[in-house]
Amino acid sequence: MRSDMSRRSFLAGAASAATAAALVPALARAADKGGPFLAVRDAHLKFVDPADCWKALQAIGADGVEAGLDDKLGLPNLVSGDRKYSVADAAGIDALRGDLQKAGKRITAFCMFNHFDERPDFEIECCAKAAQAAKALGVAAIRIDVVPRKTKPEQFLDVAVEILKKVMPGVEKAGVPLAIENHGRYTNDPDFIQPLFDRVGSKCLGLTLDTGNFYWFGHPLTKLYALYEKFAPRVFHTHCKSIRYDADQRETQRPVGLEYAKRCCPIYEGDIDFARVVKILRAVGYANDFCIEDESLGRFPEDQRAGILKKEIAHLRKLL
């Protein structure tokens, strides 16, 4: 140990190591299935083949998909002819499993759109059911939304901690982690998300690392990689997206969301170095998905969007 290393920095390092060790079992589950995988948000598949999600995944070269769940545990964005998918019961899970096997694809994460502070009892029950379904299907993580719907900003951390402490026991029984997306004005702030993790104190609570959202929040480009490294041991799922700023803006602390609609872009055109992202996550044993979430697609003609997604998957596959 360096003689000038402060006790505080030593304890912080020890805490990070302990966190990484605590999360190894969940990371190993993904590794046992042959990851990492290249995936895409299910909402993008309509740009490729609106009639068949499995053919769409094949066309762009993706291994799997992040599948959104509605309040009844249906999967409205997975479309295969007239078939509708649900994980609300055993029959629905079996049907979905069969089609995944036929297609040779996987669901790398479920995506929930939570209202924790508006309907906590519903969320406790729904998250537990989603975790059981995820376990049955080999889904490695569940993306969750931790944003205030009715809570005052100064009270939200306490409220979020209280509710998540009640949510986690049902999730822990299944052993499938909940992965908070760094999304919006709260969970993109390390001074909010770190105390949230610490106070809830569950190894099944981690992060959906959205690479672009930290940049959207205004963090300078160099700081992004420090944040990725800080939270890497807690990453169970990713959203891969990027933004392109002018050279004189990249290392400044920018206003939240500065010109996002015109600055977001495909990952191969943006400022974020995904070779570095891959290296950071692999260093802690991450083995789930690198999932494309391209919020710039709406700026392109419809007949170009499938090609962009395919090129983004190819870009990541080259890095892996």
Domain assignments of the chain as residue spans, ordered by start: 35-319
| Cα–chain center distance at 284 | 16
Which strand ranges, in their side-by-side order, compose the sheet holding 106-111?
235-239, 205-210, 178-181, 142-144, 106-111, 64-68, 37-41, 289-292
pTM for this predicted structure: 0.90
Q: What pLDDT is recorded for position 35?
A: 76
Kindly list the distances between the CA atom of residue 302 and the CA atoms of 40, 41, 47, 49, in Å, as whole numbers in the listed order: 17, 17, 7, 12
What pLDDT does residue 16 have?
Answer: 41
3-state secondary structure of 319: helix
Helix (H) or strand (E) holding 66: strand 64-68
Rounded distance, CA 116 to CA 310, Å?
35
Helical H segments across 178-257, by residue range: 190-200, 211-216, 221-231
Q: How far apart (Å, rounded) are the C-alpha atoms in residues 79 and 122?
A: 27
Please tell me the predicted confidence (pLDDT) of residue 33: 54
In this predicted structure, what is the pLDDT of residue 39?
98
Q: Kindly list the averaged pLDDT for each block of 10 residues, start to end, along the chain of length 320.
A: 34 40 42 77 98 98 98 98 97 98 98 97 98 98 96 95 98 97 96 98 98 98 97 98 98 97 98 98 97 98 97 97
Dihedral over alpha carbons 269, 280, 31, 307 (to 10 degrees): 0
3-state secondary structure of 7: helix
Distance (Å, rounded) from C-alpha 11 to C-alpha 17?
10
Question: How much is the pLDDT for 30?
Answer: 44
Let me know if domain 35-319 sits in CATH 3.20.20.150. yes
Q: Which amino acid is at 315?
A: H
Cβ atoms of 200 and 161 within 8 Å: the answer is yes
pLDDT at res. 168? 98
Per-residue model confidence (pLDDT) at position 87: 98
Q: Are strands 289-292 and 178-181 parallel, antiparallel or unpaired?
A: unpaired
- Cβ-based neighbours of 211, under 8 Å, separated by 6 or more: 224, 228, 238, 239, 240, 241, 242, 272, 274, 277
| DSSP calls for 251-280 | TS-PPTTTTHHHHEE-TTTSSS-HHHHHHH
